[in-house]
Amino acid sequence: MAGQKYTDKQIEIARFAKALSNPARIAILEFLASQDTCFFGDIHEVLPIAKATVSQHLKELKEAGLIQGEIEAPKVKYCIQRDNWNLAKSIFGEFFRIYNGEKCRCD
């Protein structure tokens, strides 16, 4: 693979996978996905995660495009970014359907 470029889909999968690689981020996503509307408030008050840690995880999730946040003083509004959420579901589903492990077995 030396010298080969990665496909856009491979880059996208890796971007989402990186964002999902921490249990605190999974907890944040589960919490936001369970809300009927966008969440106005401090996530660290709802989840057992320190405020500074929440900020870093929210930044990673926003950079991956899985959430969006807007400042509406004095609070911040957080929501799942539905388009990218659905894209992630689709590309991971496709990835696992295509590469289902049947060809490669090490047992």
Q: Which residues contact 57 (CB under 8 A, 6 or more apart)?
A: 22, 24, 25, 28, 49
- Model-wide pTM > 0.85: no
pLDDT tens-digit map of 13-66: 999 999 999 999 999 999 999 988 888 887 888 888 888 888 899 999 999 999
Under CATH, which number does the domain 8-86 receive? 1.10.10.10
> What are the sequence ranges of the domains in the chain?
8-86
CA 42 to CA 74: how far, in whole Å?
Answer: 11
